[in-house]
Structure 1
Amino acid sequence: MHEYSIVTALLELCENHAKSNKAKKVTKVVVALGERSGVEPQLLESAFEVFKLDSVCAESELVIETKPMKFRCRSCGAEFLPKGIDFGSCEVCKAPNPELVGGKEMHLQSLEMEAEDEG
C-alpha cells in the first residue's frame, strides 16, 4: 500500500509548511489527485486519518480534488478531455495515440493553518 508512504510524505510537507508559517496546527489539507495517478482516494483518506494523529494535522480535514485525464494530440496539438472510454485518437483530427498530459498528478494544493498565539 503505497498510500502509507504518500501520506507520510504529505504530513512531513504539512509539518514543514506549518513550521515555516509559524502555525500551531493545520485545519485543512487539500490534495489534487489525478484519476490516473494510481492512488486510491479511499485508501489515502484512511491512511491520512490514522497517520495524522501524531502530527500538526491531528484535527485537520483532508479534501481530495480529483483531476480528470487530459490529452494533447501529437499531430494537431489540440487538448481535450476524453468522452467515455475511447481515448485512443484525437477528438479533433482523429489522429491516433494522443499524449496523456493531465490526470496523473498528485500534489498538495493548499493548506489552511491556525497561527500560533503571539503573547
Structure 2
Amino acid sequence: MHEYSIAYDIYATAKRAAEDNFATKIKKVHVGVGELTMINPEQVIFLFETMCEEESLFKDCKIECTNIPVKSECECGYSGNERFVCPDCGKLPVVKEGMEILVTNIEIEVEDEDD
C-alpha cells in the first residue's frame, strides 16, 4: 500500500513548508496526480486527513487532488497522449508527463507581524 507513504510525504512536505514560512495554520494542500501513477487518490486523501487529525497546524486542512494527463512524444515527431504505441510510426513513445505526484501549492496562514 504505497498510498500511505505518498500521503506521508505530502504531509511532511506541507509541514516543512509551513514551518519554514512560520505558518500558524495549513489551510489546503494542492496535489497533482499523474494518470499513470497507479495510486488511488481517495485513499491518499483519507490517509492524509487521518495524519492531520492530531496536528494543530493542520486543523481543518483540506487536500485537493487534480489529474495530470499523459503527454508523450515520439522520435518521429508525434506529440500527444498515446501511452503505448505511436499512432504515426508504431514505435514506443516517451511519456513526458502523467507519471508524477506533485505538491503544487500549499495554502497557509501566518501571524500578522503587527500583533
Q: TM-score, normalised by structure 1?
A: 0.85
* Counterpart Cα distance in 2 of 1:16 and 1:49: 17
Corresponding position of 2:47: 47
Paired residue total = 113
Note the aligned Cα RMSD (angstroms).
1.5
**Contact 1:14/1:57 (<8 A) preserved:** no
Aligned to 2:62: 61
CA distance in 2, matches of 1:39, 1:57: 23
Structure 1 range deviating more: 5-14 or 28-37:
5-14
Decide whether the 8 Å contact of 2:76 with 2:89 is kept in 1. Answer: no
Deviation at 1:117, TM superposition (A): 4.1
Q: Which residue of 1 aligns with 2:84?
A: 88
Structure 1 residues 8 and 98 mapped into 2: Cα distance closer, same or farther (>3 Å)? same
**Matches of 1:26 and 1:88 in 2, distance apart?**
40
**Structure 1 residue runs of 4 or more that deviate by more than 4 Å after TM superposition:** none
CA–CA distance in 1 between the matches of 2:16 and 2:84?
A: 42
Could you tell me the TM-score, scaled by structure 2's length? Answer: 0.87
Structure 2 unaligned regions, length at least 5: none
- The answer on whether the counterparts of 1:35 and 1:67 sit within 8 Å (CA) in structure 2 is yes
- 5 Å matches for 1:74-85? 75-82=75-82
Question: What displacement does 1:2 show?
Answer: 1.4
Unpaired runs of at least 5, structure 1: none
Partner of 1:15: 15
Q: Paired residue for 2:29? A: 29
Q: Does structure 1 conserve the Cα–Cα contact (< 8 Å) formed by 2:71 and 2:95?
A: yes
